[in-house]
Every structure is written in structure tokens, then in C-alpha cells.
Amino acid sequence: MDILLLSNGKIAGNTHVMEFAADAIIDQVKRTGAKHFVVIPYAVIRSSHDDRVALVQATFDKLGLDCIATGLHNAPDPVAAIEQADGIIVSGGNTWVLNKTLHDLGLVGPIRKAVLKQGKAYIGWSAGTNIGCPTIRTTNDMPIVTGAILSSLNFVPFQINPHYLEASVEGHMGETRDERIQEFLEVNKHEPVIGIPEGTWLAIADNNISYHAANGKPLKFFSYGNEPVYYQPGDDVQFLMDLSY
């Protein structure tokens, strides 16, 4: 498998989606030989799916990659489109809508087969990263659809909280992100959570995992009964792939 799980789409100063991970994307394309990427835009709520696909194509063009992005939402047979593509890109947006749509269309199995068995490239950001986990329970998004489904693609054996922010607002009485993650761990004691700040990503190739950041920010590893642990970009985080529920 060859997977990039980005915390988000842009950071300050970026003009294109995924721009902060440009080198990783270029390397992945060279490594896998992927030319045709199918873009899954189902998470997008406040703009059009076609516009999101166009943003991905603009990024390919900016990076000088000879890659074509097509939208899965336009495919008459989405399963066939997954099978025929060289790679898969999953946009951010609302994770609940995205995950439910993948299940409703019968795409979870085909995507897992494409990525885990056939080695097709996978890039996700935000919601597209959330669905790479066993479940989507550590998303930041509101469950705006009924009949929401929790289980997801299960590429990695841990939960991820994208857009992770270690901050509290003076005078604000709601829970901090850390407090919400600790609540999750109180109920799900054997399911560790990785907080990845904006501008960072996880790269998984052949079961080897590494952590990267365009801004030097560390990831934060949460596990039940233990103090959170920080890992800097370049630190050895291979233990993450050996975790189990």
C-alpha cells in the first residue's frame, strides 16, 4: 500500500490544495506510476463536487505532474471507476456524509481492495484521512446525516484526529480538543488516538509509517491511562502500525 493521510487541505500561504505536501505527492506518483486519479468529493457540502475535482487537477498542474483527476460522482459505475483508476484521492468536508455515501454505494470493499491488495496510491485530507481509520469516531465534524455509519476503511490500526489543535480559548467553557479525546479514551480504552495538526501528514508505504510536517509541528499520541506523548517529524513512529484494539 502507498498512502498519504493529510491533516487538512491548505495552510497559510498555500494557493492549491495539498500544496504543503507537494514533495510527498510527487514522490508517490513517481513511486507508483499513477497517472489517473479518481477523486472522491462526497464530503464536500458547501461547494460543488466538480469544483473540488478541478482544484485537485490544478494542484497536479502546478506540481508539473502528468496526472488526470476525474470525479467519482460523475462515473456511471463507481466501482468500475475505482477498479480502473491508478490512484484515489479523497477530499475533506463532512466525514459523516462521506462515510455513509461510501457504504451506501458499496465502495468500502473496492477501495480497500484497490489500496491494500493492488497497491494503488491513496491520498486523503481531513475527512479523507478520518476514513482511513478503523472508524470515524474521532472526526471533528457534526453528524449531519441520519443513519450514520461508524466503521470505515481501516487502513491503520489507530484513530486519527485531523486539524488537531492544542489550545484553549480564555473564557470559553466548552471542552478542549484534548478533553474530547480523553473522553473518547475513557469509553474506548484500547483505541489510541493520534492528533495531527494542520500542515502535517502520515505516509504509509508497505506497512512502514512515517510522520511529516511542513511547519515542524509534532503529532500527539493519546492512549488510555497515559500522559500524551509528542513525536517530532522524522521520529520513529513505526510502533503505530503494530497497535491493535
Cβ pair 198, 220 in contact under 8 A: no
**3-state DSSP assignment of residue 103:** helix
Picking from 133, 47, 37, the residue whose alpha carbon sits closest to that of residue 85 is 37
Cα(124)–Cα(131) distance, rounded to whole angstroms?
Answer: 8
| Burial (0-12, 13-18, 19+ Cβ within 10 Å), 207 | exposed
Q: Which cell numbers hold the place of 198?
A: 494542520
Q: Which residues are catalytic?
A: 126, 141, 163
Within 13 Å and on the Cβ side, how many CA atoms surround 219? 28
